[in-house]
Amino acid sequence: MREQIAKEVRNILKQDGITAVLVSHNQMAAFAIADRIGVIKDGRLLQWDTAYNLYHRPACKYVADFIGEGVFVPGVVVAPDQVQTELGTFCGRIRADLGVGCPVDVLIRPDDVVHDDESMLTATVLDKAFRGAEFLYTLALDNHARLLSLVPSHHDHAVQSRIRFRLELDDLVVFERREA
C-alpha cells in the first residue's frame, strides 16, 4: 500500500508540474517518489543525484554504506582498472587518484553475490531473512568475512548449511581504505 501511495504522489506531482521538496529517512520512499535525492550528513550535502547513481555510483564511502545494503571487502589496486581482493580480481572504473598499490575497500552488494551450485566459492549460511520472492542470506566465508546475498526464495537453505556462490560486480565501487 505504501508503494502504491508513493507512486500516486509522484504521478500527481509530475502531472501537475509541481516541484516539491520531501524530507524522509525512508530510502524506499525517496527512491519511489524523487527524481533526485540528497544524502546529508552532519548538515552537509554529500551527494545530490538519482537513486540509481546513489546506489551504483556513490560519491563517498558514507553514501555507499548508507544507501542500500552491502559489505566492504579489503583489496588493493593492481592495475588502473583492477582491484585484487581475497575473493578474486575485479575489473572496472577506478578513480585516477587510487593508483597501483593503493589499499582500498570494495563494496559488495547483496545482488553482486549470486547463488551458483557450480562455483568453487563456498560460504556458510549464518542467517536468512525471507522477503517473499527472495531470501537475504548472511554468509560467512572460511576466513570469517561476511557477505550478504539475495537468493531466489525457491533456494531455501538451512542456517549453518554450505552454499556455493559467484560474484558479479557489474559496478565496481571502490574507496581508499583509511586506517582508523
What is the tens place of the pLDDT at every residue in 20-67? Answer: 888 888 888 888 888 999 999 999 999 999 999 999 999 999 999 999
Give start and end residues of each alpha helix (H) in 19-121.
27-33, 51-56, 61-66
Q: pLDDT digit string (tens) for 145-180?
A: 899 999 999 999 999 999 999 999 988 999 999 875
Give me the pLDDT at residue 7, please. Answer: 83
Q: What is the pTM of this model?
A: 0.86
> Alpha-carbon distance 163 to 17, whole Å?
50
Q: Is the dihedral of CA 68, 138, 86, 179 positive or negative?
A: positive
Per-residue pLDDT, averaged over 80-100, amounts to: 92
Tell me yes or no: is domain 70-180 CATH 1.20.1630.10.
no
Give me the pLDDT at residue 180, please. Answer: 58
Q: Three-state SS for 55?
A: helix
- Phi, then psi, of 126 in degrees rounded to 5: -90, -35
- Phi, then psi, of 75 in degrees rounded to 5: -155, -175
Domain ranges of the chain: 70-180
